[in-house]
Amino acid sequence: MPKQVIIPTGSPPPIAPYSPGARAGNVVYTSGLLPLDRDGKLVGPDDVRAQTRAVLENIKSVLEAAGGSLSDVAVSMIFLKDLKDFQAMNEVYGEYFKKDPPARWCIGCELVKPEFLVEIQCVAHLA
């Protein structure tokens, strides 16, 4: 089955050669998405809550463009620049996954640019 590239209308321009998402059958893979607005500008400098919200909204737009929603997410991978931001990120994350949250993991690591505090990648299974 062929892969379908998912690029939502108004999504931030990629900062490297990748697509925001890809669908293969009923599975949607998002790239590790960043806290960028539709013009590619950073959202929420030094504010992990604002950055987490921006990332999750970008993920939501990819899933909706593929015909799904956040409730279809089976697993998410979270990358934090600093694990001291875990609680603040988690509070915002919990707003988006209130019921039956997906499996996930979270690691602390350097991100592609120093101003990014969080990056999240998801895999969703559509019904």
In the chain, what are the domains? 3-125 (3.30.1330.40)
Angle among Cα 102, 48, 86 to the nearest 5 degrees reads 55
- The pLDDT score that the predictor gives to residue 117 is 98
- The pLDDT score that the predictor gives to residue 2 is 86
- The pLDDT score that the predictor gives to residue 127 is 82
d(CA 110, CA 116): 9
- The pLDDT score that the predictor gives to residue 15 is 87
CA dihedral 53, 46, 74, 105 (to 10 degrees): -160
- The pLDDT score that the predictor gives to residue 90 is 98
The reply to whether 122 belongs to the active site is no
Per-residue pLDDT of the chain (127 residues; tens, 9 = 90+): 789 999 999 898 888 899 999 999 999 999 999 999 999 999 999 999 999 999 999 999 999 999 999 999 999 999 999 999 999 999 999 999 999 999 999 999 999 999 999 999 999 999 8
Question: Among residues 7, 27, 77, 106, which one is catalytic?
Answer: 106
- The pLDDT score that the predictor gives to residue 89 is 98
pTM of the model: 0.96
- The pLDDT score that the predictor gives to residue 14 is 86
Whats the size of the chain, residue-wise?
127
